[in-house]
Structure 1
Amino acid sequence: MDVRKAETTDIETAVELMERSRRQFQKFQPTFWRKAEKSAAATETFFGRLLTDPDTYFLVAVEGSRLEGFLIARKFPSSPVFDPGGDTWLIDDFCVAEPRLWLSIGEALLSHATTLIHEHGGVQVVVVSADRDLAKTEMLRRSDLTIASNWWTKPLR
């Protein structure tokens, strides 16, 4: 497996993985995670911009010629009422091709990203994970991440 910086040619597969995740998230929380009709096109444009953003690490994991997962970490401003002691990085878009790959591909991507972030002065990462994404949650726990906050939601229909 090779973990490397994403390239333009990786975007199409990353968008496909993201769309698959969105369909699953929508099953978990149909209102909060409702997939927008044109989410793939919007994501493709967004991911393309991130490739050149200096405050972003867009990494992919490739086995052979197959992209098996990706992670995007972006520098994120801390709340003015908290001082973690340095830069915080948000890892929101983070997908693998199959749930069983979280403990290998996912862990490798997270490890690579946290090393880069730490080497460049970051003091913490915040990783977004759906409440019922159990395989990802297990990988995050095994990687010594802890829960700092929970978002609770209720559809108002």
Structure 2
Amino acid sequence: MIAPAGTSQIKKNFDSLLIDPNGGTIGEVFRGPQDAPGTNEAVVSGSAAPAQGTSVCVSGAATGEHCANVEIGNTGVEFDCGAIADTRRCTGFVVKNTNGGVASGTGDSGAPIYIVKADNSLGARGIVTEGNSNFIVTCNANVWGNPVCTSRFWAVSTETLKNQWGVVMDVE
């Protein structure tokens, strides 16, 4: 998403930052493990509101891509957003690994949440906001850094962000 008038902006109650990258963007998401060569991109072809029970993928910088057993849980939930507990509240949805495996980890904030369509293009559903410390799990051996991994996390929907920022998604 591109910031209006070419500026970077932040909205704390949506735990998001809108960046105007000089030179533009491409509507693609990296797919695969976090340590794979950057040759496995997929085209984003649209977005929709998250729906409970939808199978999704998450592609985090620290933990890589997770698709197996990952789905959208409750929608319309409120949670603390931001690095410190304060009065900021976000409204979003829960993403969970139904088998209790890794869904995200420290360093995955801002990662895309998406569905894989029949034509292998992606449909955006939201971004990773914050892991749920009540669901800490062991990280995979090949993760970047030393993240804390969780089987559940909170997210903000792409549709909410688009509406809040008054922008359109850059898709191919």
The TM-score with structure 2 as length reference comes to 0.27
Report 1 or 2 for greater relative contact order, CA contacts < 8 Å, sequence distance ≥ 6: 2
TM-score, normalised via structure 1 length = 0.28
Higher percent of residues as helix: 1
